């Protein structure tokens, strides 16, 4: 059965993307907001997001990481008291927290929540952002560290006592209490060659940012081939923004409204980030956006790259009526994805709409495809 994931905008939210304050010094690449966001990430707002996700049929809530986001683990620790079934996929960057320390924090949240904690390992693709937190390793070296970070976590989750000797981490007689109720799956994504290798070797769920149907098929087929060579099988997740309308025309009007107040400095910031960053995934999406500029950023049936002018990461949007968006999602699921991350602006209303209008349609279409 397909699982649906969404994201909490822990850096802020709003009805428009990229309408930065002229004097702002901070811009979040996940939500296109700054410190003067229309909707601040207060406890009440993020709690409402989580509860709407749970009510709408989402199984998990991604809590992002980065300099402009609230701490994902602290957010998860709070939200477990306000939800009953929703799982929390909280992002962590190797290098800022020792794996043994993170494992203890994770296991505590998992224990208190009754097994509702999940892990998203984020290697990081912006050297400027990483340097602000004291991480100056180059791209490939960061991925080697990520490989070790995941290996240590797995041992802590499954072994009573062990030693580990690596390039970045050394542990003697290491153990973890409490152990998670079930060995947690490692969610991980990487579009570079070393990122794909680490994913194939160590991850359990390979996360992809949505692209065109053809590009996405090529990418998932490539990862499947890599994992098969290593005699492993992964689960796969694809991520999209969603913009809905009662008609397709209305949906495109809503999409264009989202980017109608983009500040020039935000466009400059994104162009600079794409040019100077070393994230292969960000560069791929930015190129898609540029290729679709002369066609109002339309890159395929109900596919739109307008938000990629501002956002990094998950920025390609499904635009259309609930039926059209459901049809497109089913097409991607048929490629082999068993998890779909959907979000949009503003997040609360989009989560409510997707839960009411899209998820039931997708489930009905997939049920019809099941053999009798």
Distances (CA, A) of 98 to 52, 95, 149, 176, 371: 33, 7, 8, 13, 47
Q: Is the whole model's pTM more than 0.85, yes or no?
A: yes
Task: Give the CA angle between residues 249, 253, 256 to the nearest 5°.
Answer: 140
Domain extents for the chain? Answer: 3-367
Q: pLDDT by residue for the chain (372 residues), tens digit each?
A: 899 999 999 999 999 999 865 455 555 555 555 667 899 999 999 999 999 999 999 999 999 998 789 999 999 999 999 999 999 998 999 988 899 999 999 999 999 999 999 999 999 767 777 877 777 789 999 999 999 999 999 999 999 999 999 999 999 999 999 999 899 999 999 999 999 999 999 999 999 999 999 999 999 999 999 999 999 999 999 999 999 999 999 999 999 999 999 998 889 888 887 777 788 899 999 999 999 999 999 999 999 999 999 998 899 999 999 999 999 999 999 999 999 999 999 999 999 999 999 999 999 999 998 775
Number of H-type helices and E-type strands within the chain: 13, 13
Please tell me the distance from the alpha carbon of residue 108 to that of residue 251, in angstroms, as a whole number: 43
Q: Find all residues with CB under 8 Å of 270, minimum gap 6, and list them.
A: 29, 286, 309, 310, 311, 312
- 305/11 Cα distance (integer angstroms): 22
| Distance in angstroms (rounded) separating the CA atoms of residues 219 and 235 | 14
The token duo for 160 is 């009573």
Pick the CATH number of 3-367 from 3.40.50.1370, 3.40.449.10, 3.20.20.30, 1.10.3720.10: 3.20.20.30
């Amino acid at each position: 059965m397909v699982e649906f994931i969404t994201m909490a905008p822990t850096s802020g939210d709003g009805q428009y993307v990229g309408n930065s304050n002229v004097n702002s010094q901070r811009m979040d690449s996940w939500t296109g907001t700054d410190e003067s966001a229309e909707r601040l990430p207060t406890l009440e707002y993020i709690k409402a997001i989580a509860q709407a996700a749970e009510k709408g049929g989402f199984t998990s809530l991604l809590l992002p990481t980065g300099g402009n986001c609230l701490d994902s683990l602290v957010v998860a620790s709070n939200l477990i008291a306000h939800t009953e079934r929703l799982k929390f996929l909280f992002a962590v960057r190797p290098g800022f927290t020792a794996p043994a320390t993170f494992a203890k924090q994770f296991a505590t949240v998992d224990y208190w929540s009754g097994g509702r904690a999940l892990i998203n390992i984020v290697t990081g693709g912006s050297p400027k952002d990483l340097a602000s937190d004291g991480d100056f390793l180059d791209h490939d070296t960061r991925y080697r560290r990520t490989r070790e970070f995941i290996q240590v976590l797995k041992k802590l989750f499954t072994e009573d006592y062990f030693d580990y000797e690596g390039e970045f981490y050394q542990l003697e007689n290491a153990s973890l209490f409490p152990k998670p109720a079930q060995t947690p799956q490692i969610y991980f994504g990487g579009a570079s060659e070393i990122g794909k290798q680490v994913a194939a070797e160590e991850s359990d769920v390979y996360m992809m940012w949505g692209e065109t149907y053809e590009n996405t098929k090529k990418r998932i087929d490539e990862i499947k081939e890599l994992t098969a060579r290593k005699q492993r099988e992964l689960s796969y997740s694809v991520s999209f923004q969603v913009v809905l309308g009662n008609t397709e025309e209305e949906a495109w009007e809503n999409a264009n409204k989202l980017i109608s107040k983009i500040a020039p400095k935000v466009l400059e910031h994104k162009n600079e980030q794409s040019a100077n960053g070393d994230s292969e995934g960000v560069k791929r999406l930015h190129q898609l956006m540029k290729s679709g500029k002369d066609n109002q950023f339309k890159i395929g049936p109900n596919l739109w790259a307008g938000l990629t002018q501002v956002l990094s990461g998950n920025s390609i949007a499904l635009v259309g009526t609930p039926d059209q968006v459901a049809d497109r999602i089913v097409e991607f699921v048929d490629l082999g994805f068993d998890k779909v991350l959907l979000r949009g602006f503003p997040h609360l209303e989009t989560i409510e709409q997707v839960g009411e209008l899209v998820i039931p349609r997708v489930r009905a279409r997939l049920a019809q495809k099941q053999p009798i």
